[in-house]
């Protein structure tokens, strides 16, 4: 399977497992799971044929392990905009986590902290390299440090997604450190 096809299938899966399942008549359960057979038929009926082998390849090789298969079902591991409860256990975060963003958001972030915007959670990375890549999707990346240890001690809940992304509801400005 070539890289272009892999990316195309991955984007198609993200769109329908995170954001717009109804567009192809797909129903996700409360935890975001759907039957693989139902997904493949819905995609085919809507003009995008994916073989089971292609699906397995994308799930296994996806750069960020965005999708998880359990038995006959599949779901996106995080990043939803549709209402789902991923049912992830709360976990103790490392002392510092990182968030990649761009300069144009900094005034708002200084004033109100990090907010989930369209997603369900603020997404934080365990290392600066990952946060740099996340920020670089939008321009020249700016990496903020989050005092996750202090947040955790103050009672903020953190969860770790199946693909290693740290999730929390919001990060108040006092826990953020800005570069420079």
Residues that bind ligand HQG (CB under 6 A): 64, 66, 79, 101, 105, 108-109, 112, 114-115, 117-119, 123, 134, 138, 165
Nearer to ligand HQG, 49 or 137 (CB): 137
Nearer to ligand HQG, 74 or 134 (CB): 134
Closest CB 177 distance from ligand HQG, rounded Å? 14
DSSP 75-131: EESS---S-----PPB-PPPSEEEEEEEGGGHHHHHHH-B--TTSSSEEEBSSHHHH
DSSP-derived pairing of the beta strands 122-124 and 67-70: unpaired
Residues 79 and 61: their CA atoms lie apart, in Å, by 18
The CB-of-166 to ligand HQG minimum distance in angstroms stands at 10
Closer CB to ligand HQG, 2 or 107, in the complex: 107
């Amino acid at each position: 399977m070539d890289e272009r096809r892999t990316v195309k299938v991955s984007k198609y899966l993200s769109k329908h497992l995170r954001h717009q399942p109804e567009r192809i008549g797909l129903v996700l359960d409360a935890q975001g799971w759907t039957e693989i057979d139902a997904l493949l038929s819905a995609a085919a009926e809507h003009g995008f044929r994916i073989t089971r082998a292609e699906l397995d390849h994308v799930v296994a090789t996806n750069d960020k392990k965005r999708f998880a298969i359990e038995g006959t079902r599949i779901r996106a591991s995080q990043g939803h905009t549709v209402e789902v409860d991923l049912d992830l256990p709360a976990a103790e975060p490392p002392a510092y986590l990182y968030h990649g963003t761009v300069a144009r958001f900094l005034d708002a972030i200084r004033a109100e902290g990090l907010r989930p915007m369209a997603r369900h959670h603020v997404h934080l990375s365990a290392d600066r390299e990952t946060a740099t890549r996340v920020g670089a999707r939008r321009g020249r990346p700016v990496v903020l440090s989050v005092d996750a240890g202090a947040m955790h001690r103050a009672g903020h809940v953190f969860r770790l997604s199946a693909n290693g992304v740290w999730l929390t509801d919001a990060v108040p400005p006092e826990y953020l450190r800005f570069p420079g």
